[in-house]
Structure 1
Amino acid sequence: MPSAHNIKEVGYVDCVGGGQIVVVDGIAYIGHVNAPDGTSIYDVRDPKNPKKLASLGMPPGTHSHKVRVANDLMVINQELNDADSSPVPEGWKGGIVVYDVKDPSNPRELARWKTEGTGVHRYDFDGRYIYMSSSAEGYVSPFVMIMDLIDPTNPTEVGRWWMPGQWTAGGEVPNFERTQHRCHHPLRLGNRLYVSYWKGGFVILDIEDMTKPTLVSGLNWVPPFACPIHTALPIPFDINGRKYLLVGDEDVDRAPDAPAAFMWMIDITDEKHPIPVSTYQIPELAGAVVPMCSGLHQPSEKFHGTEIPMAWFSNGLRVIDIKDPHRPVEVAHYIPDLPEGSKRVSSNDVTVDDDGLIYLLDRHRGLHILQRV
């Protein structure tokens, strides 16, 4: 039986594993982790009876594990899958693909933008601009790129930003190993981008002029902490008159005896001087030696109020209340049954819809539709 506290399951989709879930107007869009599955679309307006509407595929050695939807446009990523050693079709390149989803049962391709290197990883999309992590020729690792979809049939780059050392074609010399300083994904709030930069920490960028993003500040705790920074999530409202950034590390790429990943609360009232004010780790992991992918992966980038649902890998869904940013508190959790064919639960992504339902996506199999009680 699942372990649940203040959460109940109201629906389930038996789908292959996914990397990202977004729900718009009762339609769920799922980006899958492994080919041949690419993107699936489900009608979840009746959460007890989800119905599959459409699916898109991907070739061997690649994946399309991220998806965003706004203004009847669906943007999916195209990326080499480093966990799949299958030969990639000759001439294949990563990037993004834009679809018209006015009729979600019949996605209609509008444009395909391609780049050199590994492709596009994760991104934000506001219906006009895409803020993404992209590779490109001449760069040692993925960086921040802003694309304009004012004409969705012709995605156009308008700006880019990279950490010093990434632009090797420009003569820069990396002071980091391999691709450890790389953009994971940007999130926009107002005229700022909040960008997780893996083992390069996080940065705040001013995009008042999108053609020339400029650095406001940044902060990095790797080392001494072991886990890379996965998400820098701006809180869109003040708490007690102050501004905060929730940062989630990802429980990968660490020594077996290093602490599992957890979340941080950062005071950014003075955005030029970010200050960590608290952390939260679930009690079961505090001070424990645990396998990789036991700790935090991803907070929901959409939420209502101060309760933030989070995908905590093998420890399922955790709902953390940040109403006191100096003392985050867990108020609910849900750990699903072991997915069929899996050795562990792997809660990979989570989102909420306008009615407050929570959608918890497993990396290996299954989408749980949950309700806070």
Structure 2
Amino acid sequence: MASVTGRRRGTVAVASLVAAAGLAVPGASADDGVTTGGGVVHLANVPKPETLARSPNSDLAFSGDYVIGGNYHGFVVYDISEPESPTIVSEVLCPGGQGDVSVSGDLLYFSVDYPRANDECGAPSAPATEADAFEGLRIFDISDKANPRYVASVATDCGSHTNTLVPGADGRSDVVYVSSYSPAEVFPNCQPPHDKISVIEVPHEVPEEAAVVNEPVLFPDGGHSTTTGCHDITAYPARGLAAAACLGDGLLLDITDPIHPEVVERVQDENFAFWHSATFTNDARNVVFTDELGSGSSATCNERIGPERGANAVYSLDTSGESPELEFRSYYKLPRHQTDTENCVAHNGSLIPVPGQDYFVQSWYQGGVSVIDLTDPDRPVEVGFFDRGPFDPDQLRTAGSWSAYYYNGHVYSSDMERGLDVLALTDPRFDGAESAVLDEFNPQSQPELPNG
């Protein structure tokens, strides 16, 4: 679990830095086409390194003064000790698709969901019909950030589209939930109905002994007609809860025994095409689920699609009864309509730990980054944004912000094509967030923050 320390990075210092550097002010349009609002300021961009330039960036994980950026062909380690001037420390070429990442001390967990001939980094692609093909979880030792070392792999049914870290009960191991989907009769390692997830246990001292220890079936009745597994799970270990986004279903899980998660609530929504991810508010009174309508490659942030599809759905979580219940409260959709050449839909985000408030920063692919006030779950509203405009104004191409997360005073956005962006939040409404400083942060494993 991420720990909280007392180091501070104040918004006053950030604002002074912005003024001194002559960077874009809130509400301005910069020379590179960036527009911002609500006190969001673009501090820096680091383009993708040549090694990984031809494949899309994906998710982020944070460790101390480093951020690890996943990529469909590997990952990049960035030094963010000076957020306005990030540098690349190392890059690892290890293709496998998506490249979802989680970090635990000196270990990095990396998802593989495109079959390879074997588990080696240089292995060629293989058809899913090949019984000996590898998909699953790769484990790297990143104790030397300049020289990550591949140490182990664990094969899982249907591979690993995403992975979620939960600290083991013994403190000497990690539990990793692996989500995957899309089985077929012709896939020997991905057989239908695939109504389960894979649970991997990783001993810290001997990660080579990592293994699948459970495959809980989450949908004994089959779930929604579109559900063939889960896309992503967000754990809240301090509360013993997890929220699972499973294509046609949203689940609440009891994870007090991390190796044996149990379904305690399930919801469906006719406006949701693809339950993609979830985030709890810090007090766990509300959960935000996202709908990735169009699988992230379509232009859905427009008047034609409307405000209730490809959106967030906010649910209140009632734990007063015998069993927890999720109650729908509202939708939130990006209020700034995008063009027909911009793929745009709700995607990955995290809380901004302002005391007494529920602020949420979220990526929307080419819709950019939205800062949302969720304090009133019935009326979420955008209070800040970062937007670049079309990657290609002449045709629809998949690009934009895959993930946007708040970490130790700044927002970090993983742009699929343009690399890593660093944003500052200078509006006084965000004062106090900088006091919550983490030693480690995996957005899909929420820490409980001291934000009142």
Do the structures match in fold with TM over 0.5? Answer: yes
Structure with bigger gyration radius: 2
Question: 2:327 and 2:312 mapped to 1: Cα distance?
Answer: 14
Is residue 185 of structure 1 aligned with residue 232 of structure 2? yes
Question: 1:249 and 1:295 mapped to 2: Cα distance?
Answer: 8
Question: 1:188 and 1:174 mapped to 2: Cα distance?
Answer: 21
What is the TM-score when the length of structure 1 is the normalising length? Answer: 0.82
Question: 1:197 and 1:351 mapped to 2: Cα distance?
Answer: 22
**Cα distance change of structure 1 residues 87 and 25 upon mapping to structure 2, 3 Å threshold:** closer
Question: 2:255 and 2:223 mapped to 1: Cα distance?
Answer: 25
Question: Amino acid of the residue matched to residue 183 of structure 1?
Answer: C
User: Is contact 1:310–1:318 with CA below 8 Å preserved after alignment?
Assistant: yes
Is residue 208 of structure 1 aligned with residue 273 of structure 2? no
Q: Aligned-pair distance for 1:142?
A: 6.7
Q: For structure 2, which runs of at least 5 residues remain unmatched after alignment? A: 1-32, 116-123, 168-173, 182-188, 427-452
**Cα distance change of structure 1 residues 294 and 280 upon mapping to structure 2, 3 Å threshold:** same
**Cα distance change of structure 1 residues 295 and 210 upon mapping to structure 2, 3 Å threshold:** closer
Residue equivalent to 1:249: 291
What is the TM-score when the length of structure 2 is the normalising length? Answer: 0.69
Q: Aligned-pair distance for 1:266?
A: 0.5
User: Is contact 1:159–1:210 with CA below 8 Å preserved after alignment?
Assistant: no
Per-residue CA deviations over 1:8-37 (Å, capped at 9, x if unaligned) read 11111101431101222121111113xxx3
User: Is contact 1:95–1:134 with CA below 8 Å preserved after alignment?
Assistant: no
1:152 pairs, out of 207, 223, 240, with 207
User: Is contact 1:22–1:351 with CA below 8 Å preserved after alignment?
Assistant: no
Is residue 43 of structure 1 aligned with residue 82 of structure 2? no
User: Is contact 1:99–1:107 with CA below 8 Å preserved after alignment?
Assistant: yes
Question: 1:57 and 1:323 mapped to 2: Cα distance?
Answer: 42
Question: 2:420 and 2:261 mapped to 1: Cα distance?
Answer: 37
**Cα distance change of structure 1 residues 11 and 340 upon mapping to structure 2, 3 Å threshold:** farther
Residue equivalent to 2:193: 140
Q: Aligned-pair distance for 1:273?
A: 2.4
1:129 aligned counterpart, secondary structure: strand
**Cα distance change of structure 1 residues 22 and 14 upon mapping to structure 2, 3 Å threshold:** same
User: Is contact 1:261–1:295 with CA below 8 Å preserved after alignment?
Assistant: yes
Q: How many residues align?
A: 345
**Cα distance change of structure 1 residues 101 and 87 upon mapping to structure 2, 3 Å threshold:** closer
Name the structure, 1 or 2, with higher relative contact order (CA <8 Å, separation 6+): 2
Identical aligned pairs, as a percentage? 19
User: Is contact 1:93–1:116 with CA below 8 Å preserved after alignment?
Assistant: no
Q: Aligned-pair distance for 1:334?
A: 0.2
2:61 pairs, out of 11, 19, 22, with 22
1:65 aligned counterpart, secondary structure: strand
Q: Aligned-pair distance for 1:308?
A: 0.8
User: Is contact 2:193–2:228 with CA below 8 Å preserved after alignment?
Assistant: no
Question: 2:346 and 2:141 mapped to 1: Cα distance?
Answer: 34
Query: How do 1:65-80 and structure 2 match up within 5 A?
Result: 65-80=99-114
Residue equivalent to 1:88: 126
Query: How do 1:259-298 and structure 2 match up within 5 A?
Result: 259=306, 260-270=309-319, 272-285=324-337, 293-298=343-348
Question: 1:40 and 1:255 mapped to 2: Cα distance?
Answer: 29
**Cα distance change of structure 1 residues 284 and 134 upon mapping to structure 2, 3 Å threshold:** closer
**Cα distance change of structure 1 residues 289 and 364 upon mapping to structure 2, 3 Å threshold:** closer
2:198 aligned counterpart, secondary structure: strand
User: Is contact 1:24–1:353 with CA below 8 Å preserved after alignment?
Assistant: no
2:400 pairs, out of 316, 328, 346, with 346
1:315 aligned counterpart, secondary structure: coil
**Cα distance change of structure 1 residues 372 and 211 upon mapping to structure 2, 3 Å threshold:** closer
1:11 pairs, out of 44, 49, 64, with 44
Greater strand fraction, Structure 1 or Structure 2: 1
1:237 pairs, out of 271, 278, 283, with 283
Question: Amino acid of the residue matched to residue 375 of structure 2?
Answer: K
Q: Aligned-pair distance for 1:43?
A: 1.1
User: Is contact 2:329–2:377 with CA below 8 Å preserved after alignment?
Assistant: yes
Question: 2:231 and 2:344 mapped to 1: Cα distance?
Answer: 20
1:106 aligned counterpart, secondary structure: coil
**Cα distance change of structure 1 residues 261 and 337 upon mapping to structure 2, 3 Å threshold:** closer
User: Is contact 1:42–1:52 with CA below 8 Å preserved after alignment?
Assistant: yes
1:161 aligned counterpart, secondary structure: coil
**Cα distance change of structure 1 residues 255 and 63 upon mapping to structure 2, 3 Å threshold:** closer
**Cα distance change of structure 1 residues 25 and 78 upon mapping to structure 2, 3 Å threshold:** same
Question: 1:142 and 1:20 mapped to 2: Cα distance?
Answer: 25
Q: Aligned-pair distance for 1:39?
A: 1.0
User: Is contact 2:411–2:424 with CA below 8 Å preserved after alignment?
Assistant: yes
Residue equivalent to 2:22: none
Question: 1:304 and 1:187 mapped to 2: Cα distance?
Answer: 17
Is residue 334 of structure 1 aligned with residue 386 of structure 2? yes
User: Is contact 2:197–2:218 with CA below 8 Å preserved after alignment?
Assistant: no
1:153 aligned counterpart, secondary structure: helix
